[in-house]
Amino acid sequence: MNLARLFGHMAEEGFLHSADKVKPLVIDKAEDIVPTLMQQGADGEASGRSEINGTL
């Protein structure tokens, strides 16, 4: 089962109450993981409750 199907199934079953907010990143090469995540952070893509995000 691929990740997109898993998220779809989880949303249908009620595990993802905000399924429209789930935006998985698709990264094809292992060496691109850290640079992609760093870029996402630099772009201000973080969401959620800031008081919690700061403790993660």
Work out the average pLDDT over 42-55: 62
Residue 34, classed as helix, strand or coil, is helix
CA atoms within 13 A on the CB side of 48: 11
Higher pLDDT, 8 or 45: 8
Banded model confidence at residue 29, pLDDT cuts 50, 70, 90: very high
CA atoms of 25 and 45, how far apart (whole Å): 12
Distance CA 5, CA 10 (A): 9
Instruction: Give the pair of three-digit tokens for residue 54.
Output: 């700061």
The answer on pLDDT for 8 being more than 90 is no
Q: What are phi and psi of 53, to 5 degrees?
A: -55, -35
42 compared with 2, residue with greater pLDDT: 2
The residue extents of the domains of the chain are 3-53
